[in-house]
Amino acid sequence: MNYRHALLVLISTLLISGATLAQDGEQDELKLAALEALIAAPGDRALPIVLKVLDSDESLEFKERALFILSQINHPDARTRLLDLAFASDGPLRVEAIRMLGISGDYDSLDRLRQQYGAADDDLKDSIVEAHLIAGHTEGVLAIAQTAQNPDDFERAVNALGAMGAREELRALRERSDMFESIINALAISGDVDTLLEMARDDSNVEQQLKAIEALGIAGGGGEVLIDIYKNTDSDAVRESVRHGLLVSGHDNGVLDLYRAADDVAEKKELLQLLVMMGSDQAMEIIDAALTGEQ
Amino acid sequence: MRFLVSLLFVFAMEASAQVSTGSDGWQSWRIEKQPGGGEMCCYRSGRKAGCELDGRPGHHQAPMAAPDGQRFARIYARMQDDEVLDLHTFSDSCPVTTSTPINDLGLVDNADSVDWLSARISDRNLDEVLLAISVHAGDKALSRLKTSAQPGRSHREREQAIFWMAQHRGSETRQLITDVARSDPSYRLREHAVFALSQLGNVDGIDALTAVLADRSFPMNSRKQALFWLAQSDSDDAFAVIDGYLDP
C-alpha cells in the first residue's frame, strides 16, 4: 500500500512538473509572439514596451529580437536608442545594434556611426561596413574607402562596393593604382565588363592589365570579349591571362574556336589542356579523333 | 381620413414588394439594414463622392464605414437573362450613377431579398452576395450567414461568411467565430476566425482576442494570432495585455 501510494505521488509529481515545464515553454512562446507582434503595432505604442525589454534581465537572444523590432519602429527615440547601443563601447548588443541600423536603412544614423570607424577594431569595422551594405548606402562605403588609413580598410570597403554592384563608386576609386587588385576584383563582382575591358586594353600598367583580363572571366558576359583580346594580341602574357579568364568564365565554345584556328602546336596543346580542365565534351572528341588518327 | 388611408396603402404596397428582376439591366431595391453599421458609399480623399456602378474595373472605390444611423440600405443588381452580372450594396443615402436607367423595385421584404440573393450565390459573386446578405436585418440573413460558415461549404464561402458576420452581426456570432478559431480543422480558417474576432469592434474585439489568448484550449497558433491582432489595435487594454506577457 505504501509502495503504491509512493508510486502515485511520484507519478503525480512528474505529471505536475511536466505540465509546469510545458506551461513554461508555452509562456516563452507567447512572450516571443508578443514581442514579434509589436512589429506591426503603432510606433508610439510599441516603443515603450520594446525599450522596457531592452532594459530588462531578458536573455541576450531575446533582446536581439527586441532590437530588430526597435529598428522597424519609425520614431526618433527608436533611432536614438539604437545609436546609443551602437556607440556603447563594450555593450553586448553593440554589433547587433549596428546591424539593425543597417536594416533600418537610416543613412543619417549610419553617417554618425561612421565617425567611429577609424578607432574601431576589425570586427567592429566589419559590422559597420556590413550595416552600410545592408542599407545599400554606397556613398557611405565610398567615404570609408576614400578615407581608409590602411590597405585592409580600403579592401574591406571596396569588397562591399563590389557586392553592392556600386560600379560608379568603384570607378571613382580607380586612381588608387596601388590598390588595383582589390578594385579589379570588386569591379568583376559588380559585373562591370566595360570598365574591366577598358583596363584590359590599357597596357600602360601590364600587371593591372593582366589582372583586368583575368577578371573579365569573373564578370558575367566577358567570354566573347576575352576571345577577342586573345585573337588580337601577340603577347604570351596576355594570352595566358585570357586563358585564365576563359577557364573561370566557362566559355568552352570560344576556346574550341581558338583551338581550331591555332596553327602552333604548343598553343594548340595549351588550349586543349584548357578544354580538358573546363570539362568540355568537345575536348574528349578532339582527343579521340587524335588517337584514332594515330592508329 | 382619406389621406391617411392612402398613406397606409402606400406603405403597405411598399412593404409587400418582392424582388422581381425579370428585365435586364440595373435593378435596385431597398432593404431594412442591420442596425449599427457605418454608411456604405464610395469616397475620394475621405469624402463621400457617390459611386459609379458602370465604372471600369478597379474604378469603384471601396465602401467605407462612416457614422451612419440609417434604417435602409440599397441593393443594386445588374441582370442579364436572370443572371447577376454585378452586385453592389450601399447605404440608401449613397448617390450612384449608371449609364443605363435603374429599375427601382422599392422596399423589399428582407426575407425575400435574402432568398433571392441566396439563390444566386456563385463562386463569381460570393463576396458581393455575402456582403449584401450581411447588411440585411433579421433572422433569415443571420441564419444564411451561419449556413455559409458551416463545415462542408467551400473555404472561401466560410471565410467570407465569418468575416461579414463579424462586421455586421458580431454580438450574435462571436461564439460561433470563437469556436471556429478554437477547433476548426483548417489552420487557415482558424487564423481567419481570429482575425474576424479582431473586427468585432474595439471593446468586443479586444475582449474576444484576450479571451482566446488566455485560453489554453485554443491552438497555440490561434493564440499567437490573437497577440498579433491585439498589437494592431490602438487600445490601452490591448497593449496592457501584451505588456503583461513581456513583463509578467
Length in residues, chain A: 295
Report the pLDDT value the prediction gives residue A135, as an integer from 0 to 100. Answer: 96
- Find out whether A219 and A251 touch, Cβ atoms under 8 Å: no
Chain A residues with CB inside 8 Å of B220's CB?
Answer: 26, 29-30
For residue A35, give the nearest of B230, B239, B246 by CB distance.
Answer: B246
Q: What are the Cα distances from residue A12, in Å, to A2, A19, A23, A241, B216?
A: 15, 10, 16, 77, 21
Query: Average pLDDT in the A79-94 region?
Result: 87
Which chain B residue has the Cα nearest residue A26? B220
> For residue B54, what are the β-bridge partners?
none
Chain A residues with CB inside 8 Å of B223's CB?
Answer: 30, 33
- pLDDT tens digits for B145-194? 999 999 999 999 999 999 999 999 999 999 999 999 999 999 999 999 99
Confidence of residue A178 (pLDDT cuts 50, 70, 90): confident
The number of beta carbons lying within 10 Å of the beta carbon of residue B46 is 8
Residues in Cβ contact with B161 at an 8 Å cutoff, skipping those fewer than 6 apart: B130, B145, B146, B148, B149, B153
Which chain A residue has the Cα nearest residue B235? A45
Amino acid at A258: L
Measured between alpha carbons, how far apart are the two ends of chain B, in Å?
73
Measured between alpha carbons, how far apart are the two ends of chain A, in Å?
97
For the record, the C-alpha cell of B56 comes out as 471600369
Question: Could you tell me if B213 lies within 8 Å of chain A, comparing CB atoms?
Answer: yes
The H or E element containing residue B120 is: none
For residue A34, give the nearest of B216, B232, B245 by CB distance.
Answer: B245
Tell whether the model's pLDDT for residue B33 goes beyond 70. yes
Q: What is the CA radius of gyration of chain B?
A: 20
Query: Is A38 in a helix, a strand, or coil?
Result: helix
Chosen from B202, B227, B230, B235 to mutate, greatest number of chain A CBs within 10 A: B227
- pLDDT tens digits for B54-78? 865 433 444 555 556 788 999 999 9
Question: Does A275 or B8 have the greater pLDDT score?
Answer: A275
Report the pLDDT value the prediction gives residue A278, as an integer from 0 to 100. Answer: 87
Chain A residues with CB inside 8 Å of B194's CB?
Answer: none
Tell whether the model's pLDDT for residue B11 goes beyond 80. no
**Mean of all residue pLDDT scores within chain B:** 86
**Cα gap A168→A192, rounded to integer Å:** 9
* Residue B199, min C-alpha distance to chain A (Å): 16
**Mean of all residue pLDDT scores within chain A:** 87
- pLDDT tens digits for B208-232? 999 999 999 999 999 999 999 999 9
Q: Is the ipTM of this complex over 0.95?
A: no
Confidence of residue A295 (pLDDT cuts 50, 70, 90): very low
Question: Could you tell me if B209 lies within 8 Å of chain A, comparing CB atoms?
Answer: no
CB contact (8 A) between residue B220 and residue A38: no
* Residue A97, min C-alpha distance to chain B (Å): 21
**Cα gap A145→A170, rounded to integer Å:** 10
For the record, the C-alpha cell of A129 comes out as 561596413
